[in-house]
Amino acid sequence: MSDELKRGLEGVLVAESGLSHVDGEVGKLVYRGYDIDDLAHEATYEEVLYLLWNGELPTRTELDAFTAELDAEHDVHDDVLETVTQLADAGERPMAALRTATSMLSAYDPETDADAEDREAALNKGRRITAKMPTVLAAFERARQGNAPVDPDPDLSHAANFLYMLTGTEPDAVSEETFDMALTLHADHGLNASTFAAMVIGSTMADVYSGVVGGIGALSGPLHGGANQDVMEVLHEVDDSAKDPVQWITDARDAGRRIPGFGHRVYKVKDPRAHILEEKLRDLSESADDTKWLEYTTAIEEYLSEDEGLAEKGIAPNVDFFSGSVYDHLGIPMDLYTPIFAVSRAGGWIAHMLEYQEDNRLIRPRARYTGATDAEFVPIDER
Ligand code: ACO
């Protein structure tokens, strides 16, 4: 047993997985062997979910059947919608509301008591969770605005349906395509912190709901999923400062600030997902004739790419650097960015839990003990 300590488990191999691979040196991401660029441009999120959960790309017939099964599960129980409204009224944060409501969904799952080893039941639960999370999140946002929820439309794609339930209006083709792409880009990413959290939970043979709820918790932090909102806040800060973006970033760096949307534990070059979202940001900015966020992000990226210190450490833009401004163009409120990430990544969490449980071994590392070993116990009334 090695006593070498690896803080943050950096670089430690804990499992084998055929789901996704991140090559951080060249900036390449594959899901089950397929390049993320091809999947984002050529496949729908539904196809990607099928791929992750079943191991191969679906035929047209298989995809139609799978999509129909997903569509049949978008509705959520009225009790959950009521709770979502109460959470909105209480001023709960969207990510926490999503966590609470996702947990509550399990009470209405017809297979909630299924044996943990029942793989079919686990897949069914995974499908229900993935289908219902967008409904929950859209209902929460509408409740915050004092609006009634919009019923899901089974004729719309997963991506279009979310935007429809959020706004009450069917999205145009560009918005649907962009959002679908964003869902695909965020669906899986090796053993990131939230996926590992879900896997640890799965390794106790706990159920899929517990793993997804744990994943949401892990994703909520600013070092992980929370960074996309932080990036948008930075862009607003630049705007409010009335400074030129180069001056703003110079001052921010001089003040020792860490810039959200830059840096990654695995990527040492620009994240391939960032390239794709940058392309989408460019399209959306040009078609809206509003290039402000594009100009700011480009200026910040150019400035930071010339910083030799950062380059030496392999600090380059990650997916979050562009996702926020893309969502802003789609009219999505800032504090929904991280919950949207969760809505997409749930597909990956579920896939990893199921994969790991097929050859399960309880995940149980050790800590090097640095506390006392010979403390003398004194009864409470004598201290
Ligand atoms: N801006 C400036 N410097 C940075 C940044 C940044 N965004 N990120 C890392 N660094 C520097 C650190 O200061 C550190 O420098 P030092 O060695 O001189 O002390 C060095 O790079 C290494 O940083 P660590 O925090 O040790 O690297 P780690 O691998 O633990 O961190 C992380 C990765 C957490 C993502 C980090 O880069 C970060 O905080 N980025 C900003 C938040 C962010 O964008 N998170 C989203 C990640 S992608 C995702 O979850 C989808």
Task: Report which protein residue has its CA nearest ligand 1's atom 26.
Answer: 265
How are beta strands 28-31 and 20-23 bridged, if at all?
A: antiparallel
Give the whole-angstrom CA distance, residue 293 versus residue 329.
9
Contacts with 4 (C-beta within 8 Å, 6 or more apart), sequence order: none
Predicted pLDDT of residue 11: 85
Strand partners, 20: 31
All domains in the chain, ordered by first residue = 17-364 (1.10.580.10)
> What's phi and psi for 103, nearest 5 deg?
-65, -40
Atom of ligand 1 nearest to the CA of 193: 50
Query: What is the distance in A from the centroid of ligand 1 to the CA of 264?
Result: 6
286-332 per-position pLDDT tens digit: 999 999 999 999 999 999 999 888 989 999 999 999 999 999 999 99
Choose one of 95, 249, 253, 262 to mutate for the ligand 1 pocket test, by most ligand atoms within 8 angstroms of C-beta.
Answer: 262
pLDDT at 7 over 80: yes
- Torsion, Cα 230 281 71 92, to 10 degrees, reads 20
Sign of the torsion angle spanned by Cα atoms 13, 15, 16, 21: negative
Give the whole-angstrom CA distance, residue 89 versus residue 255.
38
Strand partners, 35: 30
The answer to whether 31 and 39 have CB atoms below 8 angstroms apart is yes
The answer to whether 208 and 348 have CB atoms below 8 angstroms apart is no
Q: Any idea what the Cα angle at residue 262 is, between residues 260 and 263, rounded to 5°? A: 120
| Residues in the ligand 1 pocket, defined by CB under 6 Å | 223-225, 227, 258-265, 313, 315, 318-320
Is the pTM above the cut of 0.85? yes
Predicted pLDDT of residue 106: 98
79-122 per-position pLDDT tens digit: 999 999 999 999 999 999 999 999 999 999 999 999 988 999 99
Atom of ligand 1 nearest to the CA of 186: 51
Q: What is the mean pLDDT of the chain?
A: 96
Predicted pLDDT of residue 101: 98
In three-state secondary structure terms, 352 is: helix
Give the whole-angstrom CA distance, residue 262 versus residue 270.
9
The answer to whether 29 and 20 have CB atoms below 8 angstroms apart is yes
Predicted pLDDT of residue 219: 96
Which tokens is 284 given?
């959306």
pLDDT at 182 over 90: yes
Predicted pLDDT of residue 253: 92
Task: Report which protein residue has its CA nearest ligand 1's atom 44.
Answer: 261
Query: What is the distance in A from the centroid of ligand 1 to the CA of 234?
Result: 16
Predicted pLDDT of residue 1: 73
228-287 per-position pLDDT tens digit: 999 999 999 999 998 999 999 999 999 999 999 999 989 999 999 999 999 999 999 999
Our measurement of the distance from residue 220's CA atom to the centroid of its chain's CA atoms, rounded to an integer in Å, reads 9
pLDDT at 200 over 80: yes
34-35 β-sheet, strand order: 20-23, 28-31, 34-35
Q: What CA–CA distances, in Å, run from 118 to 12, 25, 122, 123, 169?
A: 30, 39, 6, 9, 39
Which tokens is 324 given?
């926020």
> What's phi and psi for 31, nearest 5 deg?
-110, 120
Task: Report which protein residue has its CA nearest ligand 1's atom 8.
Answer: 263
Active site residues: 224, 264, 320
Predicted pLDDT of residue 222: 86
Task: Report which protein residue has its CA nearest ligand 1's atom 16.
Answer: 313
The mean pLDDT value for 159-171 works out to 97
43-66 per-position pLDDT tens digit: 999 999 999 999 999 999 999 999
User: What confidence tier does 226 reach under pLDDT thresholds 50, 70, 90?
Assistant: confident
The mean pLDDT value for 65-73 works out to 97
Predicted pLDDT of residue 207: 95
329-374 per-position pLDDT tens digit: 999 999 999 999 999 999 999 999 999 999 999 999 999 999 999 9
DSSP-assigned states of every residue in 258-280 = PPTTB--SS-SS--HHHHHHHHH
With CA atoms as reference, report the closest residue to 127 among 115, 110, 142, 149: 110
